[in-house]
Amino acid sequence: MAALFVFGQRRRKQRTFKDRISSLDHLSDVEVVDRYRLSRIAIIYLEDNLRNDLSTPTNRSQSVSSMTKVLVGLRVLSKGNFLSEVADLHGISKQTASRVLHEFVDAVNRNIDNIRFPRTQQELAEAKLGFYKRCKIANIVGAVDGTLVPIIAPKDSGEAYICRKGFHAINVMATCSHDRRFIDIVAKWPGSQHDSSVMNTSSLKEHMESGRPGMLLADSGYPLTTSLLTPLANPVTPAEARYNNAQSKGRMVIEQSFGILKGRFRCLHKTGGVLSYSPEKSCAIFMACARLHNMCLDWGLTLDDAQVVDPGQDAMEAWMGQPGLQVQELRRRVVNTFV
């Protein structure tokens, strides 16, 4: 007992701190992008925007700097479920890395506001021109689809999160522009939810139907409406076949966006494991990754073809409803432009 006390008090174990790497100086420009997905100057810009949220007042002399928190957050999102490795790399404990990740995700979602649907006439005109150049269909402002993100089985309502592929997931609906920028995201639904149901309860549907800004390209999992342009189930004529090919070409940008997003941030892809967090936190992580994806586009950062992954966008069960005559005629007019 004497060895454990000094002058009647328990001897406190000397705390040791690993060397915390918060500087990028030891990495080349290529290594910085490969490790953190953002360029050196983009990381500095991001840290500057998040600093107020990440610089928590503390009396500790070894607090984690805001730059270290940014690097840890970026590395976890890009690497996937490898907290121990990321913690060791940046000189912190696994528990601290987990806490820092959520601080970083929340800070990104509060401060990086770059997921915006085109609103002004100029923005809408640019969006429509971009899609027309791509697929020769007029009045298109975006492409929409859902994607599954694997998560750990939730403690409550676990069955609702089992997707059609048999694993636990969240179903995220996203809309992108012709240049693969996310312009709207709905991230709150369990994996069992059908894409059409997600759309039906979204504010996006209300905006598209009330504001009439244009139309969205969607696959057969969505209903044909005045704001959703879907493929023909059984094309017969050459014009119908050409229409389906053009509609698919335009719609492909959302699948490509998911492939780039999940390739850049492997935490969202099965190769990075599953998100070991609650559905709510997993949805927040998706939102942060999408904002960072758009930020990469802003800074001109591309992903090598070898890094783009298959997003797993197999077809959702086709919508089984019967579209009204008005919307069928609307699609028929579009088909006739391919005669």
Tens digit of each residue's pLDDT (9 = 90 or more) over 50-72: 999 998 766 554 689 999 999 99
Long-range pairs for 7-13: beta carbons < 8 A, 24 or more residues apart = none
Q: Are 293 and 267 in contact (CB under 8 A)?
A: no
Per DSSP, helices labelled H in the chain are: 29-36, 40-54, 66-79, 83-89, 94-111, 121-135, 195-200, 203-211, 238-264, 279-298, 325-336
Q: Are 153 and 168 in contact (CB under 8 A)?
A: yes
- Pick the closest to residue 230 from 241, 218, 221, 240 (CA basis): 218
Rounded to 5 degrees, φ, ψ at 166 are 95, 5
Checking if the pLDDT of 111 tops 70, the result is yes
Q: Are 127 and 177 in contact (CB under 8 A)?
A: yes
Q: Are 153 and 161 in contact (CB under 8 A)?
A: yes
CA end-to-end span of the chain: 93
Write the single-letter amino acid at 147.
Answer: T
Checking if the pLDDT of 74 tops 90, the result is yes
pLDDT at 291: 98
Write the single-letter amino acid at 195.
Answer: D
What SS3 state is found at 191? coil
Q: Could you tell me the pLDDT band of residue 292, with boundaries at 50, 70 and 90? A: very high
3-state helix, strand, coil in the chain (%, to 5): 50, 10, 40
Instruction: Give helix 29-36 / helix 40-54 axis angle, nearest 10°.
Output: 50
Percent of the chain at pLDDT exceeding 90 = 74
What SS3 state is found at 13? coil
Instruction: Please indicate whether residue 273 or residue 51 has the higher confidence score (pLDDT).
Output: 51
Q: What's the pTM? A: 0.90
Burial profile 271-287: b = 16 or more Cβ within 10 angstroms, e = fewer: ebebbebebebbbbbbb
Round to whole Å and give the CA distance between 223 and 38.
38
Alpha-carbon distances, residue 102 vs 53, 114, 282 (angstroms): 12, 20, 10
- Pick the closest to residue 152 from 290, 272, 259, 71 (CA basis): 272
Q: Could you tell me the pLDDT band of residue 87, with boundaries at 50, 70 and 90? A: confident
Q: What is the mean pLDDT of residues 74-100?
A: 89
Which residue shows structure tokens 């939810």?
Answer: 193
pLDDT at 4: 41
pLDDT at 316: 60
Q: What is the mean pLDDT of residues 38-56?
A: 94
pLDDT at 310: 83
Burial class for 141, CB neighbours closer than 10 Å (0-12, 13-18, 19+): buried
pLDDT at 60: 55
**Are β-strands 169-176 and 182-190 bridged in parallel, bridged antiparallel, or unpaired?**
antiparallel
Burial profile 156-173: b = 16 or more Cβ within 10 angstroms, e = fewer: eeeeebebeeeebbbbbb
- Pick the closest to residue 76 from 36, 103, 41 (CA basis): 36
